[in-house]
Structure 1
Amino acid sequence: MNLKNNVLKVLSGEKTDLTPVISVTQLGVVEAMEQTDAFWPEAHEDADKMATLGSSLYELVGLECARIPFCLTVEAEALGCEVDLGNEEKTPQIRSTPFKTASEIEVPANFLSNGRIPVVLEAIEKLKQKYGDTLPIIVGITGPFTLTGHLLGVENLVRYMKTKPDEIETAIDNSLDACMDYAEAISKVGPDIICVAEPTAAPELIDPLQFKSMVKPALEDLANFIKTKKVLHICGSTQPIIKDMATIGYDGISVEEKVDIKKAKEELEKGSNVMKVGGKSMPRGSSSISKIIGNISTTQTLFRGTEEEIKNEVKMVLDAGIDILAPSCGLAPRSPLKNIEAMINARNKFFDQ
């Protein structure tokens, strides 16, 4: 079976004999670093190590994709933020930002040559050379709302949404320009899937009405702009915004374990019907109904669960109709390789029955 074609068919709305098992989110784990000699933080700055670690779970346990990079700080760093690259158990974090107001946020002419952007682009090329015809290559980018939070500070972002909404809209628009430039550069190299991560848009952080009015428009613009297959990941309990997510235009929606898959699929169907009734078409390249990706717990099941617990959770989400099996969010660095393999084996056993 061609693993790349299997995933792309699902995202295109075609039926397949086997539900893919991939990760659209962060997949670097310490055991894989030790076996491949591609450790953080070096793998954040070295294209060879980034490509090696990004494909390590495929090589070591059979996860059906390669995925890079391993954090959401690449764009912010290229825009001028100071970043702490962390260590082998800690992902990079924003240390400081030069921006005080929305009007100060603008994309410099040399944006695409700044920071680690060239490293990511080179790592994509290396993965394409090695796996281009057989394995789906997934590249993660930061969504415009989350990027705005990095540039202004998340606390300021949430506060300004209530006190200075016009300024936040300007900041999101300026951040969107950076997202589009980066997505275009990535698309030219040729990965199979771009995953837009918007963790700051979680319902636990902002009201669903704020998501609809302030976050969704920029995500729609970005969906229209991205020419490859595209996935949207939002952390937390996204059940209240599933219907809105369905009308944005991403081929897949990645959700956490807090989401009820059966209810989510019902909401996606409703969202699709709303578009049809309203005479709206989905953005180019997207299927009529976004596919659901997830939602095996990364904080519990894959991090510290037993093989039986993993098997039961995989069966539960497959029975519920998950379209693509995946970790619910970024893998914890100390997640055991045997647990990732157990997830894949549980998928295999489910279809062998």
Structure 2
Amino acid sequence: MNPKERLFKVLKKENVDRPPCICPGGMMNMIIEDVMDIEGVTWPEAHLNPKMMADLTQGMYKNKAFENFGVPFCMTVEAEGMGATVYMGTKNTEPRVTEYPIMSSEEYKKLTNINVNEGRAKVVVDAIKILKERNEDVPIIANLTGPVSLASSLLEPMIFFKEIRKKPEMIHELMNLVTDNLIVFGKAQLEAGADILTISDPSGTGEILGAKNFNEFAVPYLNRIIDELKEYANGGTIIHICGRLKSIYKELNSLHSDAISFDSITSVKQVIENVSNKAIMGNVSTFALENSDTESLKTMCDSCLKNGVDIISPACGIGVRTKLDNIQVLLECTKNYSR
């Protein structure tokens, strides 16, 4: 069973020989310095060049880190495309928003629409086209920043969350515009050849929003993206939510994705007990991957597998300084595991 077949089957809740080991990309970055050095391709240049972007994500697969390709390597492509100012980072720091294009949700009409034929959105689309030509057996994951996280990258987060209470109608207008743009960018990635769609919404957590606001300001927009794009995502769809999920277990069941991915702070057993009809993905600690020894990581990985995860993955992507040896433990552990 090749990596693409295995991941496709897991997302359809079908039987497989073993769990896949993946890291989607996007907010859940999958690139490390070690592989930059091996492949001779580095950040920030790879954020701006489709071939370099493709080479880096393929390098992670070639060096036995993960069983997928995934682009981009940050969560700022959409924000930049809609008018935010972005600092491109360094070899070992990710791009970040440095200036918000609007000061209130009432200014949402000032935002520009993402043009998939220019800028970094085009780089991502072109990188996927390159990857599609290289290896048919490895799943290509398209990545979107979640709607709450994108909205709070266009408007200062404290203002955004304050206006959820004070100007909910305007926030909904902003969220609808953001969602429209995410659908356009997601469709372009999938039509370019990506197999699977991952939406990562770190700011759209129940810890920040609470169950009521999560249900009102996150779920409908996440579901609209999934509903619009699932026909293009042949392999399936994944949603990643950060933070503790205990307060929103009920709401997670209403998400339309095939899989749910979550933070290491959340119990795998509790998610399995409370969330049905979804593949469970995660949740080896990102911090531990960077800072623990290989034996400790084997124990963590084994624990995740024994607790019932369907897909092994770093909980929230990986730090760029994480050692390749540490990441390889996940794949080795998964390959040696049998239920």
- TM band (smaller chain): over 0.9
Q: Is this contact kept in 2: 1:196–1:231, CA < 8 A?
A: yes
Q: Is this contact kept in 2: 1:249–1:290, CA < 8 A?
A: no
CA distance in 2, matches of 1:89, 1:246: 37
What's the secondary structure of 1:200's corresponding residue?
A: coil
CA distance in 1, matches of 2:263, 2:297: 15
More moved, 203-212 vs 109-118: 109-118
Q: Is this contact kept in 2: 1:105–1:175, CA < 8 A?
A: no
Runs of 4+ in 1 over 6 A off after TM superposition: none
What's the secondary structure of 1:204's corresponding residue?
A: helix
Q: Which residue of 2 aligns with 1:279?
A: none
1:244 aligns with 2:251: yes
Gapped runs of 5+ residues in structure 2? none
| Superimposed CA distance per residue, residues 222-276 of structure 1 (whole angstroms, 9 cap, x where no aligned partner) | 110112121101111123223312221101111111111111011112xxxxxxx
1:125 aligns with 2:129: yes
How far did 1:215 drift? 1.2
Q: Which residue of 1 aligns with 2:284?
A: 296
What's the secondary structure of 1:195's corresponding residue?
A: strand
How far did 1:152 drift? 0.9
Q: Which residue of 2 aligns with 1:69?
A: 72
What's the secondary structure of 1:111's corresponding residue?
A: coil
Q: Which residue of 2 aligns with 1:37?
A: 40
Q: Which residue of 1 aligns with 2:321?
A: 334
Q: Which residue of 2 aligns with 1:253?
A: 260
How far did 1:78 drift? 0.8
TM-score under structure 1 length normalisation? 0.90
Counterpart amino acid of residue 345 in structure 1: E
Q: Which residue of 1 aligns with 2:293?
A: 306
CA distance in 2, matches of 1:62, 1:98: 37
Q: Which residue of 2 aligns with 1:2?
A: 2
Kindly report which structure 2 residues correspond to 1:204-283, keeping only aligned pairs within 5 A, or say none.
204-227=207-230, 228=233, 229-269=236-276
Q: Which residue of 1 aligns with 2:50?
A: 47
Q: Which residue of 2 aligns with 1:27?
A: 30
Counterpart amino acid of residue 60 in structure 1: N
Q: Which residue of 2 aligns with 1:182?
A: 185
| Superimposed CA distance per residue, residues 3-60 of structure 1 (whole angstroms, 9 cap, x where no aligned partner) | 1000000001101111111112210111111111111100100101101111222101
CA distance in 2, matches of 1:342, 1:254: 20
| Identical aligned residues as a percent | 29
Kindly report which structure 2 residues correspond to 1:54-203, keeping only aligned pairs within 5 A, or say none.
54-106=57-109, 108=112, 111-131=115-135, 133-203=136-206
CA distance in 2, matches of 1:130, 1:235: 33
More moved, 200-209 vs 74-83: 200-209
What's the secondary structure of 1:31's corresponding residue?
A: helix
How far did 1:299 drift? 1.0
How far did 1:103 drift? 4.4
| Superimposed CA distance per residue, residues 296-346 of structure 1 (whole angstroms, 9 cap, x where no aligned partner) | 00112x111111111111111111110100110120010000001111112
How far did 1:104 drift? 3.3
Gapped runs of 5+ residues in structure 1? 270-288
